Structure 1
Amino acid sequence: MSQSELSLGRQLWRQTWPMALGVLSLLGFQLVDSAFIARLGTAPLAAQSFTFPLSFLIIGVQVGLGIAIAALISRALGAGEGQRARRLGSLVLITGSIAIAMLAGVLWGVQARVFRLLGADTATLALIHDYWGPQLLAAWLGAVLYFSYSLFRAHGDTRLPGKLMVLTSLVNLVLDPLLIFGVGPWPGLGLPGAAWATAIAFASGLLLIARRLRHSGWLARYGLTMEARQSAGTFAGIAGPAMISQLMPPLAAMLATAIVAGLGETVVAAWGLAVRLETVSLMVVLALTMSLPPWLGRCYGGNDWAQIRRLMALATRVVVIWQLGLGLALALSAPWVAAALSGNPEVRDELAVLIRGLLPSYALLGVCMLVVSAANALGWPLRAMLMSCARLFACYLPCLWLGAQEGGVIGVAIGAAVGNCLAGGLALGLYRRSINGMKGGVVDSTENC
């Protein structure tokens, strides 16, 4: 490895490690949530698992808006337009908060119909109803906090978001057992206690970051209406395809849950834990999708395509090596990991099968996620959207459905793994075609794949 590559690697590490630590803690507390809920029984765990697709829907919208925030602000900073970056920062905080609040209201109103369509029975619907209200509040608080993180990342500061992710995770970890199971004479809240713990944790993080934002100089009070008119088209051009790309996973998760629900309640519970474990195992990939796009956006604003190529090559190597090594290690230790996450023997056995089949395939899934994230930063939002669509609806879901039909839970694991591998290969091919199509650093704005 050359000296320039080593220097680039150190810079990437400095940008990524705070986000990796933060993502690990944030996703870790979600996994701990599920582990605590599993102690309540299979029914509460299955009820929480049914809510994942709609929770991912909110996350999809917030991440799509966050991608647009990071892309536009980092490009403005790269082009030396500091005042415009401040106006954009204020706009996205206001509009993003309103948009997520409206979405949460809609999801509260349609809950019974949607969860029934996903396969929840009457008893499960009763459990979901008590949990869904505080969970939606927690989701809104988390979204506003995420938009604030996006502002810091766009300005190259990944340390504070990483620290606050760790802090909110610790608050949640402390509150989870107290609110779920109770303490002393105070009874626990059961399943809703997990959502209230998350809401309180996010609220504490939001209070802390709001104070930093007020003194950051990254926000503007004036010129917002003018900026909204000027930037609406560009913002929509990035945020629209990005949100569609991010909304596809929740839709696919709903369909996947419906497929898995046909195999029984224990498989649904195991699938829910596997989904939580998936996000934790992808912590490095998720950190890179947060830290890398602002850097790529600044290179894009400065028309530095040679640096973009070097960054993507390095990030791809990191993702493949890390995810393959971690996936194989978790696959070999699957029985012990499953036992730590669930006390139910049936759920534990099903989960071990899913871990063995799925975890190694995340090496190529990670490549796909990296390419989609980078494409939004590099002015290819439609390609990112099409790649997300192909990953889920041409690769993942057909293989998952076929596996479930032919081999039960083993087939589900194998089918999902095959779909992930196909998606990674397809994404890598699309990226190479796009980057090789750049001639003299001229951006191809036709968005033809």
Structure 2
Amino acid sequence: MTDDEQTGLSRRIWQQTWPMTLGVLSLLGFNLVDSVFVARLGTEPLAAQSFTFPLVFLTIGIQVGMGIAIAALISRAIGAGQEERAGRLGVLVLTGGGAVMAALALLLWAVQDPAFALLGASDRLREVIRPFWTVQLCASWVGAMAYFGYSLFRAHGNTRFPGTMMMVTSLVNLVLDPILIFGLGPVPALGLEGAAWASLAAFSLGGLITALALRGRGWLERDDVLREVRESAGPFAAIAGPAMVSQLMPPLAAMLATGLVARLGESAVAAWGLTSRLESFSIVLVLGMTMALPPWLGRCYGGGRWQEVERVMATAARMVVFWQLGLGLVLAVLAAPLAGLLVEDGAVRDHLTVLIRFLPPSYGLLGVCMLVVSASNALGWPVRAMTISFLRLFACYLPLLSLGAWLGGLTGLAIGAALGNTLAGAMAWLGYRRALAGTR
């Protein structure tokens, strides 16, 4: 590929990615803002919120797994010229996805006490979590429905609308957070629970606007939906099953990691929760690519354009490595002032400084691993994607994190996690190259 072709491809990738990058940035930004505002309430509310992150990631994992499967099937149908089938699949993602996410929300509400006790939350913290968790689960369901709507736009090659809606919901949450958490005028201070109400209001607005935007586009086809269920059940399960398992493994690993960190005290848990939010914020380019590129790759798969797949992936991987390595080094240098900006408590600030110094520089190869997993689902390799996710978390990340914590406490834990991310990225890229060679 010539330099001009490389530049042109990089520009196309960026054009597809930047709307989703800005959208994810704003969405994750309001999650980080949630934690910053909650941190002003004290260490106990922040620790309570941090204990909910693994289960929140669980709900997100299932909704993303379903979205991956449907987006892959829709983009492949479009690539093969099957527009009516793409419309029927659009109806299925909204109805079936909503039912599954509602059942999950009810289950997580019913098992909250034993779940949070298993994570290490004390009786007092579980009392703090309970009212917040009820509203947060409602917000998660509404957010999932909005996400399924965004997935339809992405599958049809439109990344600007979902990116814009993510920014809108972020701004609404940003405005409502301080009002509902601390109170303003006639609005009472709701404390930690106010953060969940702000999220619910923001996601509700996003879902309403998305529903109105879908009207009249012809992307939803109700005729022969039952026949489509029968025909697509097998292909859907072949993608969604491994994709869901892949998406469920990170929250499971997060629960195990949180339980390990809990042995180091509530201040360590609070710092770990903030680091998790900061991690998502700092890999926003990767997250944007994992949302924007799979529909493109799926259309290539439907049309048999494997050389284009190879060029797109190579260019995207280079972009990820260079960007994340540079950003990671900047964050490592600014770790102390950044931690001081995010939290006031001295112990939490010291822990957060250590975590920021070691983890962000490893996000370059972590991003490559995430890109390979996302692409594998779009390219008809769901089992490979699941295998890579498993090896990343349970053969690289958690063992090295645990070993580091045993040898060096929180500092050792941070170093072990960074080494795990690096090893996982190298392993994932080698696996992708072997799979791609098999298509020739």
In the superposition, the TM-score normalised over structure 1's length comes to 0.97
- What does 1:23-172 align with in structure 2 at a 5 Å threshold? 23-172=24-173
AA aligned to 1:80 is G
Q: CA deviation at 1:428?
A: 0.8
SS in 2 for 1:157: coil
SS in 2 for 1:105: helix
1:17 aligns with 2:18: yes
Structure 2 residue runs of 5 or longer lacking an equivalent are none
AA aligned to 1:428 is W
Contact 2:177 2:195 in 1 (8 A): yes
AA aligned to 2:84 is Q
Which residue number in structure 2 is paired with residue 285 of structure 1? 286
User: Using the alignment, how far apart are the partners of 1:283 and 1:308 within structure 2?
Assistant: 22
Give CA deviations for 1:118-144 in whole Å, capped at 9, x if unaligned. Answer: 100011000110110010011101111
Contact 2:64 2:247 in 1 (8 A): yes
AA aligned to 2:435 is S
User: Using the alignment, how far apart are the partners of 2:10 and 2:273 within structure 1?
Assistant: 35
1:220 aligns with 2:238: no
Give CA deviations for 1:38-64 in whole Å, capped at 9, x if unaligned. Answer: 000000000000000000000000010
Structure 1 residue runs of 5 or longer lacking an equivalent are 440-449
After the TM superposition, list the runs of 4 or more consecutive aligned residues in structure 1 that deviate by more than 4 angstroms.
none
- What does 1:356-435 align with in structure 2 at a 5 Å threshold? 356-435=357-436
User: Using the alignment, how far apart are the partners of 2:229 and 2:330 within structure 1?
Assistant: 49
Give CA deviations for 1:349-390 in whole Å, capped at 9, x if unaligned. Answer: 110100001000001100000000000000000000000000
SS in 1 for 2:439: coil
Q: CA deviation at 1:339?
A: 1.1
User: Using the alignment, how far apart are the partners of 1:301 and 1:185 within structure 2?
Assistant: 56
User: Using the alignment, how far apart are the partners of 1:243 and 1:382 within structure 2?
Assistant: 11
User: Using the alignment, how far apart are the partners of 1:246 and 1:352 within structure 2?
Assistant: 29
- What does 1:189-208 align with in structure 2 at a 5 Å threshold? 189-208=190-209
AA aligned to 2:359 is L
Which residue number in structure 2 is paired with residue 179 of structure 1? 180
Give CA deviations for 1:230-258 in whole Å, capped at 9, x if unaligned. Answer: 00000010010000000000100000000
1:353 aligns with 2:354: yes
User: Using the alignment, how far apart are the partners of 1:110 and 1:91 within structure 2?
Assistant: 28
Which residue number in structure 2 is paired with residue 258 of structure 1? 259
User: Using the alignment, how far apart are the partners of 2:185 and 2:131 within structure 1?
Assistant: 23
User: Using the alignment, how far apart are the partners of 2:388 and 2:313 within structure 1?
Assistant: 17
AA aligned to 1:42 is T
User: Using the alignment, how far apart are the partners of 2:71 and 2:13 within structure 1?
Assistant: 17
AA aligned to 2:303 is G
Give CA deviations for 1:5-28 in whole Å, capped at 9, x if unaligned. Answer: 222111111111000000000000
User: Using the alignment, how far apart are the partners of 1:234 and 1:187 within structure 2?
Assistant: 50
SS in 2 for 1:216: coil
SS in 1 for 2:135: helix
Q: CA deviation at 1:214?
A: 1.3
Query: 177-186 or 295-304: which moved more?
Result: 177-186
Contact 2:179 2:187 in 1 (8 A): no
AA aligned to 2:328 is G
Q: CA deviation at 1:2?
A: 2.1
Q: CA deviation at 1:337?
A: 1.1
User: Using the alignment, how far apart are the partners of 2:253 and 2:187 within structure 1?
Assistant: 40
Which residue number in structure 1 is paired with residue 296 of structure 2? 295
User: Using the alignment, how far apart are the partners of 1:386 and 1:433 within structure 2?
Assistant: 14
Q: CA deviation at 1:93?
A: 0.8
User: Using the alignment, how far apart are the partners of 1:326 and 1:225 within structure 2?
Assistant: 49
User: Using the alignment, how far apart are the partners of 1:424 and 1:9 within structure 2?
Assistant: 21
User: Using the alignment, how far apart are the partners of 2:64 and 2:25 within structure 1?
Assistant: 17
User: Using the alignment, how far apart are the partners of 2:403 and 2:124 within structure 1?
Assistant: 30
User: Using the alignment, how far apart are the partners of 1:6 and 1:365 within structure 2?
Assistant: 24
User: Using the alignment, how far apart are the partners of 1:332 and 1:275 within structure 2?
Assistant: 19
User: Using the alignment, how far apart are the partners of 2:349 and 2:180 within structure 1?
Assistant: 25
SS in 1 for 2:24: helix
Give CA deviations for 1:189-244 in whole Å, capped at 9, x if unaligned. Answer: 00010000000000001110100111211001211100000000000100100000
SS in 2 for 1:318: helix
Which residue number in structure 2 is paired with residue 238 of structure 1? 239
Give CA deviations for 1:163-195 in whole Å, capped at 9, x if unaligned. Answer: 000000000000000000001243210001000
Q: CA deviation at 1:345?
A: 1.2
User: Using the alignment, how far apart are the partners of 2:405 and 2:266 within structure 1?
Assistant: 15
Which residue number in structure 1 is paired with residue 310 of structure 2? 309
Query: 306-315 or 429-438: which moved more?
Result: 429-438
AA aligned to 1:31 is L
In the superposition, the TM-score normalised over structure 2's length comes to 0.99
Contact 2:180 2:187 in 1 (8 A): no
Give CA deviations for 1:276-326 in whole Å, capped at 9, x if unaligned. Answer: 000000100000000000000000000000000000000000000010001
Q: CA deviation at 1:429?
A: 0.8
Which residue number in structure 2 is paired with residue 337 of structure 1? 338
The RMSD of aligned alpha carbons is: 0.7
Give CA deviations for 1:99-118 in whole Å, capped at 9, x if unaligned. Answer: 00000000000000010011
AA aligned to 2:396 is C
Count of matched residue pairs: 439
